[in-house]
Amino acid sequence: MSVIVQKYGGTSVADAARIQNVARRISVRQKAGDQLVVVVSAMGDTTDRLLSLAREITSHPEARELDLLLSTGETVSMTLVAMALHDLGLEAVSLSGAQAGLRTDKVHGKARILAVEPGRIHQELERGRVIIVSGFQGITEEEEVTTLGRGASDLTAVALAASLQAERCEIYTDVDGVYSADPRVAPDARKLLEISYEEMLEFASLGARVMNPRAVELGAVYNIPIVVASSFKDEPGTVIHGGADMEQGNRVRGIAHDLDVAKVTIRRVPDKPGIAARIFEALADRHVSVDTIVQNASVDRTTDLTFTVHVNDLPSASKVVEELSKDIGAGEIVADDSLGKVSIVGTGINSAPGYAARMFRTLSDDGVNIEMISTGEIRITVIIKRSDVDQAVRALHTAFELEKPDASEL
């Protein structure tokens, strides 16, 4: 009998009727002979409601208390799913992050999973029970509850799948798979039947909100096939894996975009060793994730250093660099919170000629000004004005003929 890990997101368990729907789906699969470990997120907008409750109390909720507070959201949904399964006559038990053995480090709010100790899960599976596990949370060596960051229930699911050597991990959400672009922006976007971990990672990192990038990464490391599908439909979703048949190469698979980009420029940074390290270490210490970094050629032994962050991180990022700029003898700080980014993603495209040129030409023909460019192994990304993003996505989707099926699907 094979173990399957499923994960249901917040919209899939948003109310009693949807929880009962999830229970019925689990029941069908369990009766078909699968051993199921099911990870759930908090119901609907619970996490946001708890956050605003905390903010009513204080503008700076302490991270340790906030983690305990937020962890209640998943505890509520997991117990309700277990009850709904009992109501269908199934044996089921819900387990907190602690009970499921999700050990993490101590970084409250953004904890990393150190190990999964699945003793209790194995024990419950042997008793024939469906296991419901609270997503998003873990426990430290000191028995303190931690959370893994927004959207990290995916990570819980993939970590459990790896630890249990599950056949696959199924992520059920409110979209029915991974598309060649956001269908709300590009109406002729197509659902991809399969995609490699690397491509999915780029999509996820670049703003496609289908799945948590850390979860994709973990799936790649442990080679766990991940299926992304809708919990509301009975349609096949997108399979994310690393198989040989993925080697299509030299083809743009999709367009990713992100509307929440902010840019910080530090003027006249002294051009000597160690300066960039100090800046990005200071940002890392405040848990600010930096995305694209661009440094201009040196003029007069100073240089302009620009980096992008999520708009929500802009206040922290600005504060860090304001503090540092005097120390390091740099000039003024310029921040811009009105940006977005658009990427083309596909294995091999960056090493093959012509993709970058076609991308820039398409944007230029559409009158879209490029502010920054960054490239990765399998993607090319441009930072542009937020107001240009939708138009850029549609233009690139058409230019790379993404409305046409992949060779493998013909």
Question: 155 burial class (0-12, 13-18, 19+ CB within 10 angstroms)?
Answer: buried
Indicate whether 117 belongs to the interface with a copy of itself (CB under 8 A).
no
Helix (H/G/I), strand (E/B), else coil: 121: helix
Indicate whether 63 belongs to the interface with a copy of itself (CB under 8 A).
no
Are the C-beta atoms of 133 and 78 separated by less than 8 Å? yes
Are the C-beta atoms of 393 and 255 separated by less than 8 Å? yes
Indicate whether 93 belongs to the interface with a copy of itself (CB under 8 A).
yes
Q: For 88-163, where are the alpha helices, taking DSSP H only? A: 119-126, 153-163
Give the integer Cα–Cα distance in Å for 153 and 149. Answer: 9
The nearer residue to a copy of itself, 101 or 340, going by C-beta atoms, is: 101
Stretch that binds a copy of itself, among 49-57, 209-217, 346-354, 398-406 (CB under 8 A): 49-57
Give the integer Cα–Cα distance in Å for 257 and 322. Answer: 29
Helix (H/G/I), strand (E/B), else coil: 53: helix
Of 48, 87, 141, 281, the residue at the interface with a copy of itself (CB under 8 A) is 87
Stretch that binds a copy of itself, among 69-77, 170-178, 245-253, 382-390 (CB under 8 A): 69-77
Q: Minimum Å distance from CB 135 to a copy of itself?
A: 15
Are the C-beta atoms of 73 and 114 separated by less than 8 Å? no
Q: Pattern of binders to a copy of itself over 142-181, x per CB under 8 A?
A: -x--------------------------------------
Q: Minimum Å distance from CB 109 to a copy of itself?
A: 13
Indicate whether 302 belongs to the interface with a copy of itself (CB under 8 A).
no
> Residue 294 corresponds to which tokens in the numbers above?
């661009």
Half-sphere exposure of 159 (CA within 13 A, CB side): 29
Of 12, 41, 71, 163, the residue at the interface with a copy of itself (CB under 8 A) is 71
Residues found near a copy of itself in the complex (CB under 8 A): 16, 19-20, 50, 53-54, 56-62, 64-66, 68-69, 71-72, 75-76, 78-80, 82-84, 86-87, 93-94, 96, 98-99, 143
